[in-house]
Amino acid sequence: MSADCTKAESDMASVTIPAAISESTIARNAQIRMRKRKRFVLASQLGTFIFIIGSWQIMADYKIIDPFFFGSPGGIVFRLYDWAQNGTAYGPLWLQVWVTLEEAILGFCLGVVTGIIFGVSLAEFPLLSDILGPYIKAVNAMPRIVLGSIFVIWLGLGLPSKVVLAAVLVFFVVFFNAFEGVRSVDRNFISNARILGASRLQVIRHVVFPSAMTWIIASLHVALGFSIIGAIVGEFLGAQQGLGLVIATAQNNFDANGVFGAMLMIGIIALGAEAIMGKVEKRLLKWRPRAASDQTSAGM
Amino acid sequence: MPDASNSGGRVEFTGVTKRFVTPTGAAMTAIRDVNLIVEPGTFCAVVGPTGCGKSTTLTLAAGLERASGGSVRVSGHEVDGITKGVSFVFQTDALLPWKSVLANVALGPIFRRVDKHQAHAEAEIWLKTVGLNAFGNHYPHQLSGGMRKRVSLAAALINKPSLLLMDEPFSALDVQTRAIMSNELLRLWEKTRPTVLFVTHDLEEAIGLADQVVVMTAGPATVKAVYKIDLPRPRGDMQEVRFDPKFLDLYKQIWESLREEVDRAYARTTEISSVKGVSQ
Ligand SMILES: Nc1ncnc2c1ncn2[C@@H]1O[C@H](COP(=O)(O)OP(=O)(O)OP(=O)(O)O)[C@@H](O)[C@H]1O
Ligand SMILES: [Mg+2]
């Protein structure tokens, strides 16, 4: 059948040569237009950046805004340079970055793994989810940031309290998505797998988990942000090292440039993590129709 | 012709009733007192008005659901849990979108814990049988509807079922592709000769394919009549069988019987909605 189809198509192509040419012209024009648009967007983004940073600097220089409160781009760069050269009050800058990063990564992993395990098992055992449902909702409704204080009391000023806070924040996001993902698995897929002889674990491994994976991956972007927030807030609440502590100290010293400088570092970390996440997502979801993934990237 | 795979696959429904509990907690009868025998290696088509309980009948034979009353036996064993030696082809194909075509076909052996290389080798052979060996590395969404159906068939047949259950497998396809798939199905069926229970709304398809056509009543369904289709095999091209005078004769008879039920089912639904309309 497919052989017939291709033959028919090639016949058609040979008859309608003019149409084919104009088609390729259209495609080429569209590509040129798209490339132009892309370049324009990039240039505009760069322009906006220069405009904002530039006017900030100028306004600070001419004292239109008070650089003591608002800092200035030059001051921020100088502060970062100073930290990089002479270290912060708590040791070298890279160490602060690493401490925060370590807390965020460990918290992220812990939260994702427990979130997936709990989400999948609760969705697989409806009785369990019926029993635990109200409690989970209650805990979820609580502002979880305040748990950070408890964790500092329990676990001290070191790494564990921050990891646990980050993990708790990440857990709920991943948990609800994993739960919903498992529940929305196509029943036909499960029936078919069972008839083909799959055991319960095989159904989970080959059908339920990959299907829920789209939901889980969608939650990972938010979870990533939460893990960094968890680490920073944990450090705010009590720490001996880390970017959160650096910010808190800068705040106490009314050092606006210090706060912005640390913020910049965090932003760069978050962007880097987001980029890695995007790569991982693309890999894991490579089976999805091209059109859908194009749409998401166009929407970014 | 009979071989090892031919000994099993006998389907026997005796006084089977299936009741569902609706989400509101009420009970509703989907099928009642169904008596049906399908001999091993024969092809049985099931027709009936929409919503009467045809799919339910298949899920009972597959063991996906348990009968509320009566006895369902497949290959001589009372159905209790997933039936051994069955495969199911659904209306919407159940190919896993995150697995390649080859991996989808290999699922049966993988679930039986056959070694992966072996399973993929087996899947290659089945893909070749359905003429898609060049598409093993594609994902299902990259294939046409007809191709996906062929992959579904390969995935179902790789387990060498003694009973093949098909629930309107070709109804989502266009008319030409459907005819091609019918021929394809007959060709594959001749090879391994499983018992087939085939639900369809297309009477031509039913008569063209089957050895017997079962007409079910409007829901709750029971077997209204069974027609033997004694057209010679191999049937050859579906398009040509249709013009056989015997075919036309059978078509007329079965259509008469089916139409009564379709009309009754239709009258019932319109009655219900008109009553609802008045009361509102
Ligand atoms: N899991 C279920 N829970 C409750 N009711 C169900 C369930 N499955 C089927 N039913 C009901 O049983 C009846 C028969 O359904 P079934 O799907 O077997 O019909 P069908 O003959 O296959 O229809 P169609 O030709 O449209 O596919 C319907 O009224 C349906 O609402
Ligand atoms: Mg049905």
A47-92 pLDDT, tens digit each: 999 999 999 999 999 988 888 888 899 999 999 999 988 888 888 9
**What's the structural domain count of chain A?**
2
CATH number for the domain harbouring residue A91: 1.10.3720.10
Distance CA B252, CA B242 (A): 12
pLDDT at A19 over 70: no
Q: Does residue A218 share a domain with residue A99?
A: yes
Is residue A68 domain-resident? no
pLDDT at A1 over 70: no
Counting ligands in written order, the one closest to the CA of B56 is 1
pLDDT at A264 over 50: yes
A289 CA to chain B: closest CA distance, Å?
7
Sorted by sequence, the CB contacts under 8 Å of residue A260 that are 6+ apart come out as: A71, A76
- For chain B, the domains span 11-85+163-279, 95-160
Q: Is A202 on the interface with B (CB under 8 A)?
A: yes
Q: Please provide the size of chain A in residues.
A: 300
Q: Does residue A87 share a domain with residue A35?
A: no
Q: Does residue A20 share a domain with residue A144?
A: no
Is residue A60 domain-resident? no
What letter would DSSP give residue B221? B
Residues on chain B bordering chain A, Cβ-to-Cβ distance under 8 angstroms: 59, 62, 64, 82-83, 86-88, 90, 92, 94, 96-100, 107-108, 110-112, 131, 139, 141, 146-147, 155, 159, 180
Range of the domain at A43: 1-48
Tell me which chain B residue has its CA closest to the CA of residue A191.
B64
pLDDT on residue A18? 57
Is there a contact between B62 and B82 (Cβ–Cβ < 8 Å)? yes
Is residue A191 domain-resident? yes
Sorted by sequence, the CB contacts under 8 Å of residue B95 that are 6+ apart come out as: B101, B104, B140, B148, B151, B152, B155
pLDDT in tens, B88-143: 999 888 899 999 999 999 999 999 999 999 999 999 999 999 999 899 999 999 99
Q: Which of A1, A2, A184, A192 to mutate to test the interface with B (most CBs of B within 10 A)?
A: A192
Cis amide prior to A160 (ω within 30 degrees): no
Distance CA A250, CA A245 (A): 8
- Facing A189 at nearest CB: one of B62, B94, B180: B94
3-state secondary structure chain A: CHHHHHHHHHHHHHHCHHHHHHHHHHHHHHHHHHHHHHHHHHHHHHHHHHHHHHHHHHHHHCCCCCHHHHCCHHHHHHHHHHHHHHCECCECHHHHHHHHHHHHHHHHHHHHHHHHHHHHHHHHCHHHHHHHHHHHHHHHHCCHHHHHHHHHHHHCCCHHHHHHHHHHHHHHHHHHHHHHHHHCCCHHHHHHHHHCCCCHHHHHHHHHHHHHHHHHHHHHHHHHHHHHHHHHHHHHHCCCCCHHHHHHHHHHCCCHHHHHHHHHHHHHHHHHHHHHHHHHHHHHCCCCCHHHHHHHHHHC
Q: Does residue A275 share a domain with residue A142?
A: yes
Q: Does residue A241 share a domain with residue A194?
A: yes
Q: Does residue A139 share a domain with residue A90?
A: yes
Which of A245, A217, A251 lies closest to A231, judged by CA? A245
Distance CA B87, CA B62 (A): 8
pLDDT in tens, A119-141: 998 998 889 889 998 998 888 88
- Report the amino acid identity of residue A106: L
Spans in chain B with pLDDT lower than 70: 1-7, 272-280
- For residue B203, the CA-to-ligand 2 centroid distance in Å is 15
Q: What residues flank ligand 1, with Cβ below 6 Å?
A: B 20, 22, 30, 48, 50-56, 219
As for the ipTM of the complex, it is 0.87
Q: Does residue A198 share a domain with residue A279?
A: yes
Verify whether the Cβ–Cβ distance B88 to A2 is below 8 Å. Answer: no
- For residue B168, the CA-to-ligand 2 centroid distance in Å is 7
Q: Which of B91, B92, B105, B107 to mutate to test the interface with A (most CBs of A within 10 A)?
A: B107
- Could you tell me what percent of chain A has a pLDDT over 70? 89
Q: Does residue A259 share a domain with residue A188?
A: yes
The predicted model gives A34-39 an average pLDDT of 94
Q: Does residue A150 share a domain with residue A34?
A: no
Is there a contact between A210 and A116 (Cβ–Cβ < 8 Å)? no
- How many beta-carbon contacts under 8 Å exist across A and B? 67
Distance CA B136, CA B120 (A): 10
Q: Does residue A22 share a domain with residue A167?
A: no
- Facing B111 at nearest CB: one of A2, A196, A210: A196
Q: Does residue A146 share a domain with residue A233?
A: yes
Is residue A189 domain-resident? yes
CATH of the domain spanning B11-85+163-279: 3.40.50.300
Which of A93, A107, A83, A96 lies closest to A243, judged by CA? A96
Residues of chain A with C-beta less than 8 angstroms from the C-beta of B139: 287
Is residue A71 domain-resident? no
Distance CA B41, CA B233 (A): 13
Counting ligands in written order, the one closest to the CA of B166 is 2
Q: Does residue A149 share a domain with residue A14?
A: no
pLDDT on residue B150? 92
Backbone angles phi, psi at A172, to 5 degrees: -65, -40
Q: Which of B74, B84, B93, B96 to mutate to test the interface with A (most CBs of A within 10 A)?
A: B96
Distance CA A220, CA A218 (A): 6
Sorted by sequence, the CB contacts under 8 Å of residue A193 that are 6+ apart come out as: A202, A203, A206, A207, B107, B111
pLDDT on residue A185? 92
Q: Is A300 on the interface with B (CB under 8 A)?
A: no
Query: How far is the first Cα of chain B from the last one, in angstroms, to the nearest whole number?
Result: 62
Counting ligands in written order, the one closest to the CA of B265 is 1
A114 CA to chain B: closest CA distance, Å?
24
